[in-house]
Amino acid sequence: MTITLVVHEAAFCGHSEIVKDLADKGSELDKPDAFRKTPLLYAIYNGHSEIVTYLADKVNVNQEITKGETPLKVAESLMFTDIVDILKINGAR
């Protein structure tokens, strides 16, 4: 497993310190995995607001997953209002 895929797994599981450590080691935080998901998306799907806060400052919060689907739209559809606010503060639209 490459370091990039490990950061996806860490974001999915809510391991914020591992996400930060992998970012410091050069993990590609914007790179989608085989399912076209980024670490930010995995953190959003699982309600990990601490990781969303960390990543939102380091990645493109408007990166489309599929046509018209963005991290903000995912957070809104899941009704994670705290994550919606974090994304908007960081420029999501």
Q: Is the pLDDT of residue 3 over 60?
A: no
Q: What residue spans of the chain are helical by DSSP H?
A: 3-13, 16-24, 39-45, 49-56, 71-77, 81-89
68: confidence class by pLDDT, cuts 50, 70, 90: confident
82: confidence class by pLDDT, cuts 50, 70, 90: very high
Token readout for 67 is: 């046509």
CB 40 within 8 A of CB 59: yes
Task: Give percent above pLDDT 90 in the chain.
Answer: 84
Q: What is the mean pLDDT of the chain?
A: 93
CA distance 58 to 29: 8
Q: What is the pLDDT of residue 1?
A: 53
Q: What is the pLDDT of residue 35?
A: 87
Q: Which domains does the chain have, with CATH numbers?
A: 3-89 (1.25.40.20)
